[in-house]
Amino acid sequence: MIAAVIPEFGRMKVREVDDPQLSGSTDVIVKVAAAGVCRTDLETMSGGLVPAYGQPVFPYVAGHETTGWVEAVGSEVSVVAPGDPVLLHPLITCGLCDGCRAGRDMYCSNSRFPGVDATTWGGFAEYMLTGERAVVPLPADADLEELAGYSDAGLTAYHAVKRLIPYLNPNGTVAVIGVGGVGHFAVQLLREMTSCTVIALDVDSTRAQLGEQLGAHASFHGPIETMLASVLELTNGGVDAVMDCASGGSQSVTPLDFVRKGGTVSLVGGGASLNVDTLSAVVKEITIVTNLVGTYTELQELIGTQRSGIRSLHTTFPLSDTTEALHSLTTGSVVGRAVLVP
């Protein structure tokens, strides 16, 4: 098959590799329809994830947002059959550990993370090997390119909004930093799931305006210092919560500066280190919430939000143009998610 592989840190090359093979009774091979491109893939390619997952076994295939059609199944698979359209949860989980049994399968102590964990190949390929527990069956008429971004970007945003809701008042104000792959979902989901005023923030004016088009009540763009001043003026002292979907911040400004006393900072995705002035944080009694993907059940719930008009904005690229897709993500020129189509 053809795949976009990382032969060494700093490079990705489209070339032929061996097809995946069934080896376990609950294995599922998927013919890839679409694979979302995430900043995590850039981190995988650069070596930024080594502290978390170790040195990749090269060549390595990235990609953790995948839709497709079932190609082959193991002997004990009963949920899907060849030809079925599916969306893949990012993690392949065991179902037996405490995390899985509690319904928090993203805490699985025996999970595999295709395209991220340095050993399990992901979806930047014509075919992908996964497990039955990761497969979400879809309707026959599902738009597989549209749904690719749900697998991680949408799921992470949905999970983060659900975790943030207990900290919000009905008339509160929430700022979203970064209206990209995750942030454009966050803006929509905050409008759908809360009654809060939503402010969209992005260094790029087009993406900030996109936030308003997707439902934000206001938007600001520019350097983080400029956006902070605008938010503080608009809210008379700070928002009730901020969702940082872009590792927003600088040496002088952090997401904590955007919230008022008793506020909450929701960190969505990994990125640069967050410097916390603990005295200031304690005096303001700020709550910091971190977020990791989401559960299989939450992914099923998220798919249902399509009925309410939640959009998964994306730009498609042929698998052969993976380098161009990565460049578009790096430069911020892509709207929503870049999606590779084999």
238-258 core/surface letters (b: 16 or more CB in 10 A; e: else): bbbbbbbbbbbbeeebbbbbb
Q: Average pLDDT in the 55-72 region?
A: 97
Report the percent of the chain where pLDDT is more than 70.
99
d(CA 255, CA 115): 29
Beta strands 2-6 and 13-16, pairing class? antiparallel
Answer yes or no: do 30 and 132 share one domain. Answer: yes
Helix (H, G, I), strand (E, B) or coil at 122: coil
C-alpha triplet 312, 316, 322: angle, nearest 5°: 125
CATH number at residue 144: 3.90.180.10
Mean pLDDT of 42-65: 94
The domain total for the chain is 2
Residue 63, pLDDT > 80, answer yes
Average pLDDT, the chain: 94
pLDDT of residue 251: 74
pLDDT digit string, tens, across residues 96-150: 999 999 999 999 999 999 999 999 999 999 999 999 999 999 999 999 999 999 9
Q: What is the mean pLDDT of residues 256-262?
A: 96
Do 14 and 46 lie in one domain? The reply is yes
Helix orientation angle between 322-331 and 39-46, rounded to the nearest 10 degrees: 110
Same domain assignment for residues 168 and 78: no
Residues 169 and 50 occupy one common structural domain? no
Q: Kindly state whether residues 41 and 81 are assigned to the same domain.
A: yes
Mean pLDDT of the 209-229 span: 97
Q: What is the pTM of this model?
A: 0.95
**CATH code (residue 218):** 3.40.50.720
In which domain, by residue range, is 278 found? 155-291
Taking residues 275-299, report their average pLDDT.
Answer: 92
pLDDT of residue 207: 95
Arithmetic mean of pLDDT, 15-40? 96
Q: Are residues 200 and 164 in the same domain?
A: yes
Same domain assignment for residues 87 and 119: yes
pLDDT of residue 272: 65
Least confidently predicted of 33-47, 229-243, 300-314: 300-314
Q: How confident is the model at residue 18 (pLDDT cuts 50, 70, 90)?
A: very high
pLDDT for 270 equals 67
Cα distances from 110 to residues 100, 119, 246, in angstroms, run 10, 14, 29
pLDDT exceeds 70 at position 271: no
Q: What distance lies between CA 324 and its chain's CA centroid?
A: 20
Pairing of strands 337-341, 173-177: unpaired
- 178 band by pLDDT with thresholds 50, 70 and 90: very high
Q: Please give the average per-residue pLDDT across 201-208, as a whole number.
A: 95
Does one domain contain both 101 and 43? yes
The pLDDT of residue 295 is above 90: yes
Confidence class of residue 280 from pLDDT cuts 50, 70 and 90? confident
* Same domain membership, residue 170 and residue 119: no
Tell me: do 37 and 61 sit in the same domain.
yes
